[in-house]
Amino acid sequence: MKTGAQADNRFQSDAGKYAAYLQTPEGRLRLDLAFANVQEFLPAPAGGNALSALDLGCGTGATAIRLAQQGLQVTLLDCSQAMLDIAQRAALEAGVSDQITAKRGDATMLPDLFAPQSFDLALCHNVMEYVDDPGTVLCGAARLLRNSSAIFSLLVRSQAGEALKAAIQSGDLAAASDALASEWGQESLYGGKVRMFTLEKIRDLMKGASLSIIVERGVRVAIDYLPPKVSRSEEYARILDLERKLGTRPEFVATARYTQVLARPMKDGA
């Protein structure tokens, strides 16, 4: 799913655990919200040609399959062969395998894997939490975007959201304070460290990669803190609707569990 030796071991050895997580209401919501935000800003195809997309750290291929169903040609990149196997099976079952190309590789090697200006859309969802140098990876991904109309989507774990989770969900005030003072948190699914991001850090990284932010969105603002009496499954549609509304409002973007930023390459001289 992700990059780097530690992440590769996690997602290679037990890819099924991540696939199962994506079936939970929380996992589904993260996928659904992030995809809805991307769909809102998809560029129009030029000259009747299908858009070309790169799903960096594609995991189970859930987002890539949705893009393929909308007519895009999608390249999957992941360092975990187990994840790519799941994604390719899912693409076959969905009837879009002819629009999906799978490639095993590391996000840090993007300049060696793809030619510059190859894609109209690049997704980098929940990858930067695991790489050693997010700035370098972002710069490599930005160079793959075709032109100033191309879209880059970044989804990362929010430092503020991690602090609120510790305080509200667990009642652990010490952990909440620690989250606000550290760039690193604990990854709950597999264990181990995971990088957290502030909005300021994200903005700096995007600027350093010559990417101009179009919009900032919050992903999973409320679901993690709803009382047990609210069924995450039975009320899923209403939760999704509420989250869509909350995630577009700046006062909630900063406190969401995840932050999503959509951007375009800066025009020359911008």
DSSP for the chain reads ---SHHHHHHHHHTHHHHHHHTTSHHHHHHHHHHHHHHHHTPPPPSTTPPPEEEEET-TT-HHHHHHHHTT-EEEEEES-HHHHHHHHHHHHHHT-GGGEEEEE--GGGHHHHS-TT-BSEEEEES-TTT-S-HHHHHHHHHTTB-STT-EEEEEEEBHHHHHHIIIIIS--HHHHHHHHH-SEEE-TTT-SEEE-B-HHHHHHHHHHTTEEEEEEEEE-SSGGGS-TTS-TTTTHHHHHHHHHHHHTSHHHHTTSSEEEEEEEEPPTT-
> What's the confidence (pLDDT) of residue 267?
77
Is a pLDDT exceeding 90 seen at residue 105? yes
> What's the confidence (pLDDT) of residue 269?
42
The amino acid that residue 3 corresponds to is: T
* Mean confidence (pLDDT) of the chain: 91
| pLDDT band per the 50, 70, 90 thresholds, residue 203 | very high
> What's the confidence (pLDDT) of residue 10?
61
Contact indicator for 121, 107 with CB cutoff of 8 Å: no
Is a pLDDT exceeding 50 seen at residue 191? yes
CATH of residue 144's domain is 3.40.50.150
> Nearest CA to 203 among 135, 137, 151, 110?
135
> Nearest CA to 61 among 47, 74, 44, 43?
74
Phi-psi region of 166 (alpha: psi -120 to 50; beta: other; left: phi over 0): alpha
| pLDDT band per the 50, 70, 90 thresholds, residue 2 | very low
Specify if 89 maps to a domain. Answer: yes
Is a pLDDT exceeding 50 seen at residue 3? no
Is a pLDDT exceeding 70 seen at residue 240? yes
Bridge partners of 103, per DSSP, are: 77
When pLDDT is averaged across residues 164-179 and rounded to a whole number, the result is 91
Q: How far apart are CA 13 and CA 219, in angstroms?
A: 28
Q: How far apart are CA 154 and CA 139, in angstroms?
A: 13
When pLDDT is averaged across residues 50-59 and rounded to a whole number, the result is 94
Contact indicator for 41, 166 with CB cutoff of 8 Å: no
Is a pLDDT exceeding 50 seen at residue 235? yes
Number of domains in the chain: 1
> What's the confidence (pLDDT) of residue 176?
92
Is a pLDDT exceeding 50 seen at residue 83? yes
Q: How far apart are CA 199 and CA 170, in angstroms?
A: 24
- In angstroms, how far is the first alpha carbon of the chain from the final one? 34
Specify if 172 maps to a domain. Answer: no
> What's the confidence (pLDDT) of residue 9?
60
> What's the confidence (pLDDT) of residue 44?
80
Specify if 171 maps to a domain. Answer: no
> What's the confidence (pLDDT) of residue 88?
95
Question: Which range in 88-102, 168-182, 185-199 is most confidently predicted, on average pLDDT?
Answer: 88-102
The amino acid that residue 76 corresponds to is: L
> What's the confidence (pLDDT) of residue 4?
47
The amino acid that residue 53 corresponds to is: A
Specify if 249 maps to a domain. Answer: yes
Specify if 170 maps to a domain. Answer: no
Q: Which domain holds residue 225?
A: 5-158+198-264
Is a pLDDT exceeding 80 seen at residue 7? no
> What's the confidence (pLDDT) of residue 15?
77
Q: How far apart are CA 40 and CA 106, in angstroms?
A: 28
Overall pTM surpassing 0.75 (yes/no)? yes
When pLDDT is averaged across residues 41-68 and rounded to a whole number, the result is 90
Specify if 192 maps to a domain. Answer: no
Specify if 204 maps to a domain. Answer: yes
Specify if 129 maps to a domain. Answer: yes
> What's the confidence (pLDDT) of residue 225?
93
> What's the confidence (pLDDT) of residue 268?
64
